[in-house]
């Protein structure tokens, strides 16, 4: 594979036809690097600047004086225009740190966590007109009504929630917020990035309801890679054989011993995915998949409290 920074272009375009030709070449190059559309525009602006030797061309900001079309000052913003026009919704970056699932009135709800920048007041109110909306809350102090982050929540459903249900919803939101916040930030091993992918896949499968065995397996894989990542980043070996390498209780026990963290044995056992479920030889219920998800959240909450994001 050609390295990302090896893309070249012979000269600065002077018209729309030349510009589109350049952008198509660049976009295909970035796609071959494995970047989805929302990840490409920043890289594209950087590579245009490098390839055409333009220096630090401006690309964002409402006060940029763009000058003449296809001039040096116009090219950066034009890159973002091209991606917005070409990909539309696919070009939007999802800033959410992650999602979780909460059962409320026998219905499974996706809780999509907001990206909160700065101080924020987190509360719950049946009145959905209260609190800031959107998945990015910034320029604080912000106000976050957690019911806004139950995907698909309607005013009718929200207004019917009893006090105990509101408490459950708030507690569920905070559990997911702290668990996913830690998981998506922890660093020091490549296994953590894989664990995030497994976690996201498990949530998608659980919400879909059609691949519950996959939900169970991906939940187990998230825990496995998280535990192995914690051991890996301090140089501690861990089993790789099928018998112990996929044993969540064993791996969790190793982490407990090495770092003095304390996990619930029941949670570790609940996360474990039997091989028969993984290979489709045994069916699993949505409740079992949900229980595994909640057990994983509990384990991640222990780590969020005890395990540092980076090794000192």
Q: Phi-psi bin for 111: left (phi > 0), alpha (psi -120 to 50), beta?
A: beta
Give residue 142's pLDDT: 79
The string of pLDDT tens digits covering residues 147-162 is 999 999 999 999 999 9
Residue matched to tokens 């770092």: 259
Give residue 62's pLDDT: 47
Does residue 292 surpass a pLDDT of 90?
yes
CA–CA dist 226, 194 (Å, integer): 9
The string of pLDDT tens digits covering residues 9-66 is 999 999 999 999 999 999 999 999 999 998 898 899 889 989 998 876 555 544 567 7
Structural domains in the chain, CATH included, are 4-91 (no CATH), 95-161 (no CATH), 186-312 (1.20.120.330)
Give residue 279's pLDDT: 86
pTM above 0.85, yes or no: no
CA–CA dist 215, 222 (Å, integer): 11
Q: Write b or e for each residue in 96-108: b if 16 or more Cβ atoms lie within 10 A of its Cβ, otherwise e.
A: ebbbbbbbbeeee
* Cα separation values, 268 from 227, 249, 262, 297, 300, Å: 11, 5, 11, 11, 11
As a whole-number percent, the residues of the chain with pLDDT over 70 amount to 93
* Cα separation values, 120 from 129, 165, 169, 217, Å: 17, 23, 18, 35
Give residue 175's pLDDT: 97
Instruction: Place 76 in a pLDDT band, splitting at 50, 70 and 90.
Output: confident
C-alpha torsion angle, residues 60, 61, 67, 69 (rounded to 10): 40
Q: Count the alpha carbons within 13 Å of 120 in the hemisphere toward its beta carbon.
A: 20
Does residue 176 surpass a pLDDT of 50?
yes
The string of pLDDT tens digits covering residues 194-209 is 999 999 999 999 999 9
Q: Count the alpha carbons within 13 Å of 230 in the hemisphere toward its beta carbon.
A: 25
CA–CA dist 227, 231 (Å, integer): 6
Please tell me whether the peptide bond between 255 and the residue prior to it is cis, using omega within 30 degrees of 0.
no
Give residue 258's pLDDT: 95
Is the sign of the CA dihedral 109, 300, 251, 226 positive or negative? Answer: positive
Between residues 264 and 45, the one the model is more confident about: 264
């Amino acid at each position: 594979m050609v390295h990302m920074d090896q893309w070249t272009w012979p000269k600065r375009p002077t018209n729309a036809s030349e510009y589109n030709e350049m952008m198509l070449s660049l976009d295909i190059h970035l796609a071959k690097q494995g970047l989805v559309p929302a990840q490409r525009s920043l890289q594209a602006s950087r590579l245009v600047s490098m390839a055409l030797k333009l220096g630090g061309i401006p690309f964002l900001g409402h006060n940029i004086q763009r000058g003449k079309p296809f001039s040096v000052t116009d090219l950066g913003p034009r890159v973002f225009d091209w991606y917005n026009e070409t990909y539309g919704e696919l070009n939007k970056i999802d800033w959410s740190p992650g999602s979780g699932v909460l059962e409320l009135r026998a219905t499974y709800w996706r809780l999509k966590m907001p990206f909160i920048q700065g101080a924020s007041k987190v509360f719950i109110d049946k009145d959905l007109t209260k609190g800031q909306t959107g998945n990015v809350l910034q320029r604080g102090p912000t106000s976050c009504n957690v019911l806004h982050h139950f995907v698909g929540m309607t005013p009718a459903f929200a207004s019917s929630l009893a006090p105990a249900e509101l408490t459950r919803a708030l507690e569920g939101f905070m559990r997911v917020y702290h668990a996913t916040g830690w998981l998506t930030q922890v660093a020091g091993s490549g296994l953590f990035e894989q664990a995030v992918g497994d976690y996201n896949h498990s949530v998608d499968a659980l919400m879909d309801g059609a691949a519950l065995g996959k939900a169970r397996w991906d939940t187990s894989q998230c825990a496995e890679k998280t535990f192995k990542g914690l051991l890996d980043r301090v140089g501690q070996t861990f089993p790789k054989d099928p018998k112990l390498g996929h044993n969540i209780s064993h791996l969790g026990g190793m982490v407990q011993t090495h770092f003095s963290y304390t996990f619930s044995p029941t949670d570790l056992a609940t996360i474990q995915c039997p091989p028969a479920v993984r290979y489709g030889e045994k069916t699993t219920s949505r409740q079992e998949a949900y229980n595994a998800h909640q057990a994983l959240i509990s384990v991640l909450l222990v780590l969020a409290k005890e395990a540092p994001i980076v090794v000192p």
